[in-house]
Amino acid sequence: MDKTTAILGGVYGVIIMSLVLIFVLAPAKTDAAHQPDTTYGIINQFNPNLKGSLNLADLFAKSDEGVVQIIVRKSNDSSIDRDIGSGIVYDTNGHIITNNHVVSNALTIRAVFHDGQSYSAKVIGTDTFADLAVVKVDANPEIFHPLQLGDSSKLRIGDEVAAIGSPFGLTGSMTSGIISQLGRLLTPPDASSFSIPNVIQTDAAINPGNSGGPLLNMQGDVIGINTAIQSGTGEFSGIGFAIPSNTMKRIVPVLIQDGHYKHPWLGISGTSIDPDLSSTLELSVQNGFLIQDVVPDSPAAKAGLKGYKEIKTIDGVKYKVGGDMIIAVDGNSVEKIEDILNYLQDQRSIGDTITLKIIRDGKTMDVNLILQERPNRAQ
């Protein structure tokens, strides 16, 4: 699938590359906001979904109790080095949502609440493909103040948002900004060939240690979980990414019940078609997805989808050409790979039959395909 370079984030010792994704988990040794014009009780005249908007101070007061700092030790070293992330209180049973990359390979995990109280936590479910995890704290239900998961499908570019977490280990920190784009692809660090679809892009400042913390709308609903930044230095440069709340709603209950989430899988790789690529390769369409490789024994292979027939070199660049071109899935037009991935994650499950409209050798046809579970390791 479409790949995005991902680098684990840290305060120290990061590999500096130009425009790489930094998953914002901070190894730490120690523990100017954009003010919206809306006030409590005002209905946004441009977006009627935004009722009862809070100012930033009230938003923080409402939400801070539902955010925890996650402290992870991944070795028995007695030094003070540890990894720092954030978490979202999910329910009064002690379940806390965070990122998988925050708690992966952890020997010990502690959750520190807003009042400074610290509790041991254990992992009960992980999903490397969506970079989500659930940990559980056994404590009095009165200490848990769950945050409500909002509807990320209602987000619009320009909506105001705020992030709460522990950047660089600084607990209870809040930043604000806007939704700067929707529907991005993000590659988790432990499954580099599978992209997380439909990711939220924001300019709210997110730094190492924010991973696993909430991205909130101005009503205090969680509309995303902060996960990564795009940066050339390892620190925030204006582009952050959050896994949408609707993805969390679909996956988190399954992680709590089963410990694992089964993602639907096609078993193809290739490239999105745009007008430039279409012109270069002399394709019959300007948008869609060009299949280059089909994984043996995958749903795509069983349905008879075809990969590239030959490799052409054009202006010194090699292209795999001649494969099927996907232009629609279940009647929904496909302009790029994101359209397929978003549809599968949000609306389809293992065992579902989908219909792909493809172009093969100049002819348009429908191909039915039964979705299978994505393999444990990217193929």
Instruction: Report yes or no on 5 lying in a domain.
Output: yes
Q: How far apart, in whole angstroms, are the C-alpha atoms of residue 199 and residue 8?
A: 18
Given a cut of 70, whether residue 38 has pLDDT beyond it is: no
**Per residue in 149-207, pLDDT tens?**
999 999 999 999 999 999 888 888 999 999 999 999 887 655 455 788 999 999 999 98
Given a cut of 80, whether residue 88 has pLDDT beyond it is: yes
**Per residue in 310-327, pLDDT tens?**
999 998 999 999 999 999
Determine which of 103-107, 339-343, 373-377 has the lowest per-residue pLDDT on average: 373-377
pLDDT value at residue 190: 53
Residues 271 and 334 in one domain: yes
| Cβ atoms within 10 Å, residue 264 | 21
pLDDT value at residue 76: 72
Residues 64 and 136 in one domain: yes
- CATH number of the domain to which 283 belongs: 2.30.42.10
Give the residue from 236, 261, 286 where a domain finishes. Answer: 261
Given a cut of 80, whether residue 85 has pLDDT beyond it is: yes
Residues 64 and 119 in one domain: yes
Q: How far apart, in whole angstroms, are the C-alpha atoms of residue 150 and residue 219?
A: 9
- CATH number of the domain to which 191 belongs: 2.40.10.120
Residues 246 and 304 in one domain: no
Give the residue from 207, 234, 261 where a domain finishes. Answer: 261
Residues 51 and 70 in one domain: yes
Q: How far apart, in whole angstroms, are the C-alpha atoms of residue 226 and residue 346?
A: 19
Helix (H) or strand (E) holding 74: none
pLDDT value at residue 23: 65
Q: Which residue has the higher pLDDT, 23 or 341?
A: 341
Give per-residue burial for 51-90: e unless 16+ CB within 10 Å, then b: eebbbbeebbeebbbbbbbbbbbbeeeeeeebbbbbbbbb
Count helices and strands in the chain by DSSP H and E runs: 6, 25
Instruction: Report yes or no on 378 lying in a domain.
Output: no
Residues 239 and 281 in one domain: no
DSSP per-residue string spanning 356-376: EEEEETTEEEEEEEE-EEPPS
Q: Which residue has the higher pLDDT, 4 or 286?
A: 286
Residues 270 and 224 in one domain: no
Query: What mean pLDDT do residues 74-94 have?
Result: 85
Residues 234 and 283 in one domain: no
pLDDT bucket at 77, cuts 50 / 70 / 90:
low
Cβ 376 vs Cβ 268: under 8 Å: no
Residues 240 and 224 in one domain: yes
Angle at 23 between CA 22 and CA 27, to 5 degrees: 100
Instruction: Report yes or no on 362 lying in a domain.
Output: yes
Looking at the structure of the chain, the number of domains it has is 2
pLDDT value at residue 43: 38
Pick from 66, 73, 82: which is nearest to 31 by CA?
82
Catalytic residue positions? Answer: 101, 131, 211
Given a cut of 90, whether residue 237 has pLDDT beyond it is: no
Residues 326 and 347 in one domain: yes
With pLDDT > 90 as the criterion, what percentage of the chain qualifies?
Answer: 71
Residues 6+ positions from 290 with CB-CB distance below 8 Å: 270, 271, 272, 273, 277, 281, 283, 321, 323, 325
Cβ 146 vs Cβ 89: under 8 Å: yes
User: What Rg value do the Cα atoms of the chain yield, rounded?
Assistant: 22
Angle at 58 between CA 53 and CA 61, to 5 degrees: 135
Given a cut of 50, whether residue 4 has pLDDT beyond it is: no
Residues 367 and 329 in one domain: yes
Give the residue from 209, 234, 261 where a domain finishes. Answer: 261
pLDDT value at residue 356: 98
Residues 249 and 299 in one domain: no
Q: Which residue has the higher pLDDT, 193 or 216?
A: 216
Instruction: Report yes or no on 379 lying in a domain.
Output: no
- Residue identified by tokens 């500096």 is 16
Instruction: Report yes or no on 57 lying in a domain.
Output: yes
Cβ 175 vs Cβ 204: under 8 Å: yes
Helix (H) or strand (E) holding 169: none
Residue 82's domain spans which residues? 1-261
pLDDT value at residue 41: 38
Q: How far apart, in whole angstroms, are the C-alpha atoms of residue 229 and residue 184?
A: 12
